[in-house]
Amino acid sequence: LHNFGNFRMLRIFRILRIAKTARALRSMKLLRVWRVIMSEEVLYPMLWSSAMLIGFLFICALVFTTFAGDFTSDATAEQEAEKVRLLELYGSVIRTMKTIF
């Protein structure tokens, strides 16, 4: 009978620990902010503005990559170092998007 009392105490301590953890998680302000961000009033405009930003970034990257390609095709021998650096940063549209961002 004495052993059952120990198990009962262990169960009580486990339940108290779980309750304490649940109370701490409920009071975390980060979760409240996340819940507000995931609401429809905030999420849809945020997704739309992100899509517009990425689209604008893509268009600018296309222009910059075109300009970089035109410059490197007309580059002289003295401009070889600039040409290599320019191709590292603006050699493709993805690289240009990363450079601009």
Summarize pLDDT for 10-39 with one digit per residue, the tens. Answer: 888 889 898 888 877 777 766 677 777 778
Backbone angles phi, psi at 28, to 5 degrees: -70, 125
Is the full-model pTM beyond 0.75?
no
Asked if residues 90 and 99 have their Cβ atoms less than 8 Å apart, the reply is: yes
Q: Is 100 exposed, middle or buried (0-12, 13-18, 19+ CB in 10 A)?
A: middle
C-alpha to C-alpha distance for 18 and 30, rounded to whole angstroms: 20
Q: What is the pLDDT of residues 63-97, one digit of tens each?
A: 999 988 888 888 787 888 888 888 888 889 999 99
